[in-house]
Structure 1
Amino acid sequence: MVSGRTIDRRTDVSRARSVRVTAPGKINVSLKVGPPREDGYHGIASVFLAVSLYEEVTATETAGGISVTVNGQGTLNLPAASIPLDSSNLAVRAAELLAEVSPGHSGVHLDITKRVPIAGGMGGGSADAAAALLACDALWGSGFSRDELAKIAVDLGADVPFALVGGTAVGLGVGDLLTPAISKTPLHLVLVTSDYGLSTPEVYRTLDALRLRNGVEPDAQPEIDPAILGAMRAGDALALAPLLHNDLQEAALELAPALGDILETGRAAGALAGIVSGSGPTVAFLAQNPAHAAELETLLTHEGLQATSVQGPAHGARITADHAG
């Protein structure tokens, strides 16, 4: 476990009320990216799938202020020491935003247990923010509905609303315009993480540069292939495998060529398909069923890779404990 760090912890939290919330990481089963917009962002069309790798945030009442500790557990690709502990931390920003509209707010300490790879293209920071919103809402008795929290979440980043709702969804705009999609039959995947991260803005800049260099004109309004949603609705991994797509993958491979070797290793080990998740560098391999996923995880681990089997869709942010001091 990576040792935790803290700032501005103002009271003994051992006797205070605390609320613990989990929120999932995600992969982009399909991600199409449009050209840069006037605001600097890119329009996207994506199918988000929440997976069974959860961040955990415990919010505890304090005498005043907002503080945070970060601990690492399970699959991490960067030290927790690399995570900011000020207002640039998404979970802290989430608590600050909610406090602005919650008359009954108190001080709060956020203890984050990281399980989703850091800077790995799986929305771990967004899951922290979603968990912090739900935990603080319960702690302060703010009384916001899930939809109201999702509206607050938009100001924190495009992936935060999805971490609140989980499941499967189509994301348009910059990913913040969500439409739930039916996907009841579990899909099984094996994630391979790296011991480094990739900057999402840098991956997008690299994509733009590659398109300019290669004379590629992206669709101004990218769309989702309906066949992807049909395969996911049926839980048909064989039908879904050839449909996996990520416009950012070429840019991620440009910045981290070793990802190409990982993709090839997974395919050679029998994965139905492999894809870089979001901006990377996490790679997701699709398996046919739980036994196949377990076998694939073992084979990839024997190849010296950091492999973890997961399934999706997973539930969104959820309260798992509420203890009175």
Structure 2
Amino acid sequence: MEKSITVTAAGKINLSLRVTGQRHDGYHTIDTVMHETGLHDTITVTLGGEGITVDCPGDIEPQSNLAYRAACAYIDACGAETGVHIAIEKHIPVSGGMAGGSADAAAVLRGLDSLIGTVDKERLYGAALSLGADVPFCLAGGAMRCTGIGEIMTPCRPLPPHKLMIVGGCGEKRSTAAMYSELDRRLGRGADGCGGESRIDIGGDMVQALESGLLDRICAALHNDFELVNLGCAEVRRLLANCGALGSLLCGSGPTVFGLFEPAFDTAPAVDRLTAAGYRVLYVGI
């Protein structure tokens, strides 16, 4: 008989993101505070049949889908002889800076671990890291300060009560690699990965702001290096501020933007204004 489980895959926002350098193997090092959101995909994992199949919107080849690769990694790690079918209901914007693909991969790992349960935590996180730098955070969830290439995680206090708005249509979708390359040029890093390293403790500032539990202090500490090379976010951030947001920021490398409001704030007029301006409000929640 087939065994099945449905799990959620939460998108993330970066409350702060500083690109601190580039390793000689090409990977960039970062200092970022990530926070999961209520905007999520829904993943159904079913054991049975032969091979690994993925049902997902869009034209992505199964072998290029991180969810497919996550299933391969888990089956390889546990040695189970079973087919896997993955059905993905997408809500997180594709290539929007919210780690949608990484969240889906992490959800597949969690789902398979619930159904099979023979992989220890160390190997599970090793499989996650093999899939991408954001996947370990998406597997852990919550709020984390992430350093290294994103795999070194330290839990931090989550956001206090707030209302979160996520806005799409804020600029051109570009690959993360292209955004890093442009940022390297702006920060003066050479091809050897040296130069332009940051010593400003942006991540530490955000952790301290979160510890205070004060939303206005947290919003004052919001920072994302990628805003240097994603100029399309500036106008929507101005509009969010005019609509009453205490703070706003680019999600990851963009182009999606989020805004933070007081928890009781009426965001309906803001949704109307943003929609009239041609943006897409993807999520409003607490």
TM-score, normalisation: structure 1? 0.79
2:17–2:203 contact (8 Å) kept in structure 1: no
Contact 2:31 2:203 in 1 (8 A): no
Paired amino acid for 2:3: R
The corresponding residue for 2:208 is: 230
Which position in structure 2 is the counterpart of 1:159? Answer: 134
Which of these residues, 148, 153, 157, is aligned with residue 178 of structure 1?
153
In structure 2, distance between residues paired with 1:226 and 1:211: 21
CA deviation after TM superposition for structure 1 residue 18, in Å: 1.3
CA contact (8 A) 1:45 1:222 kept: no
- Is contact 1:183–1:234 with CA below 8 Å preserved after alignment? no
Deviation at 1:37?
1.5
Matches within 5 A, 1:1-325: 16-71=2-57, 80-81=58-59, 84-139=60-115, 141-183=116-158, 185-194=160-169, 197-212=173-188, 218-219=196-197, 223-253=201-231, 258-310=232-284
What displacement does 1:96 show? 0.5
How far is the alpha carbon of 1:285 from its aligned partner? Answer: 1.2
The alignment yields a C-alpha RMSD, in angstroms, of 2.3
Q: C-alpha displacement at 1:293, in angstroms?
A: 4.3
Contact 2:66/2:101 (8 A) holds in 1:
yes
In 2, the alpha carbon distance for the partners of 1:293 and 1:271 equals 9
SS in 2 for 1:47: strand
User: Contact between 2:20 and 2:28, CA under 8 Å: does it hold in 1?
Assistant: yes
Paired residue secondary structure (2:104):
helix
Runs of 5+ in structure 2 lacking a partner? Answer: none
Q: Percent identity?
A: 35
* Contact kept in structure 1, 2:103 and 2:138, CA below 8 Å: yes
Deviations 1:8-65 (A, max 9, x none): xxxxxxx732111112100110000023220111110000010111121111123211
TM-aligned CA deviation for residue 166 of structure 1: 0.8
Q: CA–CA distance in 1 between the matches of 2:27 and 2:80?
A: 35
The structure-2 alpha-carbon separation of the partners of 1:103 and 1:24, relative to structure 1 and needing over 3 Å to count, comes to same
What is the alpha-carbon distance in structure 1 between the residues aligned to residue 162 and residue 196 of structure 2? Answer: 30
How far the C-alpha of 1:277 sits from its partner, in A, is: 0.9
Letter of the 2:229 partner, please give it. A
2: CA distance, partners of 1:147 / 1:52: 27
In structure 1, give the amino acid aligned to 2:230.
Answer: A
Gaps of 5+ in 1: 1-14, 72-79, 313-325
Amino acid at match of 2:51: G
* SS of alignment partner, residue 235 of structure 2: helix
When residues 163 and 306 of structure 1 are mapped into structure 2, their CA distance, relative to the original with a 3 A threshold, is same
User: Which deviates the most, 173-182 or 302-311?
Assistant: 302-311
Question: 1:217 offset after TM fit, Å?
Answer: 5.0
**Would you identify which runs of 4 or more consecutive aligned residues in structure 1 move more than 6 Å?**
none
Shift of 1:143: 2.8
Q: TM-score, normalised by structure 2?
A: 0.89
1:185 and 1:131 mapped to 2: Cα distance?
Answer: 25
- Tell me by how many angstroms 1:112 deviates: 0.7
Q: Which amino acid aligns with 2:167?
A: V
Shift of 1:184: 6.1
